[in-house]
Amino acid sequence: MSHSAPDPNEDHGSVYDGLLGTDTSQWAFGTDFEDPLAGVDTTVPADLDPAELAAYCLALGDDALVLSHRLSEWCSNAPDLEEDIALANIALDLLGQARLLLARAAAADPSVVPTLPDGSPVPVEDALAFFREAIDFRNVRLVEVANGDFAETIARLLLFATVRLAAFERLCAHRDPVLAAIAAKGVKELTYHRDYAGRWFLTLAQGTDESRRRLLDGLSATWPLYAELAAAYAAGAEVDVVLDQVFAVSGVDRPEVAPMAGRGHTEALSRMLAEMQVVARAHPEGLW
């Protein structure tokens, strides 16, 4: 037939068409794989103490790094393929925050970076992630304990994302423009994390008897570590408002469990780091 019917998809085709533009070498968008702060002026403003800024960024970065690793442990283990991908996405968001924050810490105060042999190709944020011992990590204990079941993971994610989002909203006005920019990027990510966790919190709480039992158990297991998280992020009344809202619609009482005593880390962290760091440490000259 000389006049064949026009292909209805010809003009717009698949949404995936043309995504790469003319550049097919780079599949990850908006990410500089060499230096996450490439092209950014990392001079610390004169009225800030570089060591204090670095310690603060390290703490924020370590929280993201450790929870990112915990969430990534759900890969291929989540209740459904869809949750598997959702949790991996959140883990990747947090890993991105960790890269930026650890790089910011290293740029502000190079003395925080562990010393590696001369000529080591390991970038500073990797040196911080893979070549520090558990005792040098500045994360809160809430992010390091084992995942538990899906409900416990959701309870932890809700608490973490709510507290961190409130803090990042404040940090958008931080006097260090680099930290402020990192916070502004993170706000959008954390808003989604909180939304995702909040919806699942409600769904599990109002689902079946079994899902509600698991959620309440998970929340009780996580709650002893909440006080430390809230203190680390200077969580204010706005956090309580959000959590109370989620608890109210879910028909869940705010747990009355005493905060876990002590500080520092649980033994869960060193076990997790052993797994997370083993490949990088086995190949210190490796290029990734």
- Determine if 267 is a binding residue for other proteins (CB under 8 A): no
Q: How many residues bind to other proteins according to rule CB under 8 A?
A: 27
Q: Which of residues 80-119 bind other proteins (CB under 8 A)?
A: 80-82, 85-86, 89
Give me 58's structure tokens: 């390290």
Q: Which is nearer to other proteins, 57 or 86 (CB)?
A: 86
Q: How far apart are CA 197 and CA 189, in angstroms?
A: 12
- Determine if 12 is a binding residue for other proteins (CB under 8 A): yes
Please choose, out of 4-12, 38-46, 123-131, 266-274, the segment that lies near other proteins by the rule CB under 8 A.
4-12
Among 7, 11, 41, 209, binds other proteins (CB under 8 A): 11
Please choose, out of 6-14, 129-137, 142-150, 275-283, the segment that lies near other proteins by the rule CB under 8 A.
6-14
Least separation, in Å, of the C-beta of 198 and other proteins? 11
- Determine if 53 is a binding residue for other proteins (CB under 8 A): no
Helix extents (H) in the chain: 50-72, 81-108, 124-130, 150-171, 177-205, 209-222, 226-232, 237-250, 267-282
Please choose, out of 9-17, 54-62, 151-159, 167-175, the segment that lies near other proteins by the rule CB under 8 A.
9-17
Least separation, in Å, of the C-beta of 266 and other proteins? 30
Contact between 53 and 123 under an 8 Å Cβ cutoff? The reply is no
* Main-chain phi, psi angles of 113, to 5 degrees: -80, 130
- Using the CB atoms, write b or e for 102-112: b if 16+ within 10 Å: bbbbbbbbeeb
Build a one-symbol-per-residue string for 188-227: x at contacts with other proteins by CB under 8 A, - elsewhere: -------xx--x---x------------------------
Q: Which is nearer to other proteins, 97 or 139 (CB)?
A: 97
Measured distance between the N- and C-terminal CA atoms of the chain, rounded to whole angstroms: 54
- Determine if 74 is a binding residue for other proteins (CB under 8 A): no
> Which residues, other chains included, contact 106 with Cβ-Cβ below 8 Å and sequence gap of 6+?
54, 112, 113, 124, 125, 127, 128
Please choose, out of 7-15, 109-117, 159-167, 263-271, the segment that lies near other proteins by the rule CB under 8 A.
7-15
50-72 vs 150-171: helix axis angle to the nearest 10?
Answer: 150
Q: How far apart are CA 113 and CA 285, in angstroms?
A: 17
Binding site for other proteins (CB under 8 A): 1-3, 5-6, 9, 11-19, 27, 29, 80-82, 85-86, 89, 195-196, 199, 203
